[in-house]
Amino acid sequence: MFPRPIQESSKSRQLMYKVALPISLVIWLLPMIAIVATAGRSLHDINYGNYWGIPSEWAFLDNFGEVFSSSPILIYLLNSVIITVPSIFGALFLSTLAGAGLALYKFKGRFVIFALFIAGNFVPFQILMIPVRQLTLDLGIYDTYLAVILFQVAFQTGFCTFFMRNFIADLPFELVESARSEGVSEWKILIHVIIPLVRPALAALAVLQFTFIWNDFFWPLILIQSDELRPITLGLTTLKGQYISSFNLLAAGSLIAALPPVMMFFAMQRHFIAGLTLGASKG
Partner 1 sequence: MTDMTSYPVPPKPRHTTFYSRNKLVITPLLFIAPAFAMFSLFVIYPIIQSISLSFYEWQGIGPKKWVGFNNYDLLFKDPVFWKALVNNIYWLVLFLLAPVLGLIIALFLNQKVFGIRLVKSLFFFPFVVSQIVVGLVFTWFYDPAFGLIAALIEPLGLKLPSILASEDWATFGVIIAGLWPQTAYCMILYLTGLNSVNPEMIEAARLDGARGWRLLVNIVLPQLRAATFIAIVVTVIGALRSFDLVAIMTEGGPYNSSNVLAFYMYDNAIFRYRMGYAASIATILFLIMDVYIVWFLMRLLKNEKGSR
Name residues contacting partner 1, limited to 79-118 (CB under 8 A): 94-95, 97-98, 100-107, 110-111, 113-118
Q: Which stretch binds partner 1 (CB under 8 A): 61-69, 70-78, 198-206, 257-265?
A: 257-265
Q: How far is CA 133 from CA 80, 140, 282, in A?
A: 20, 11, 39
Instruction: List Cβ neighbours of 265 (8 Å cut-off, separation of 6 or more).
Output: 207, 211, 272
Binding flags for partner 1, 59-78, as an x/- string (CB under 8 A): --------------------
Angstrom distance (rounded) from CA 117 to CA 166: 13
For partner 1, how many residues bind (rule: CB under 8 A)?
A: 101
In the complex with partner 1, the residue whose CB is nearer, 66 or 153, is 153
Q: How far is the CB of 199 from partner 1 (least distance, A)?
A: 18
Angstrom distance (rounded) from CA 236 to CA 215: 11
Q: How far is the CB of 35 from partner 1 (least distance, A)?
A: 5
Q: Which of 278, 282, 283, 223 is nearest to 99 (CA)?
A: 278
Binding residues among 171-230 for partner 1 as defined by CB under 8 A: 173, 186-187, 190, 211, 214-215, 217-218, 221-222
Binding residues among 261-280 for partner 1 as defined by CB under 8 A: 261-262, 264-266, 269, 273, 276-277, 279-280
In the complex with partner 1, the residue whose CB is nearer, 61 or 280, is 280
Residue 154 contacts partner 1 per CB under 8 A: yes
Answer yes or no: are the C-beta atoms of 201 and 167 closer than 8 Å: yes
Q: How far is the CB of 246 from partner 1 (least distance, A)?
A: 12
Residue 17 contacts partner 1 per CB under 8 A: yes
Angstrom distance (rounded) from CA 279 to CA 27: 30
Angstrom distance (rounded) from CA 21 to CA 104: 47
Instruction: List Cβ neighbours of 149 (8 Å cut-off, separation of 6 or more).
Output: 83, 86, 87, 90
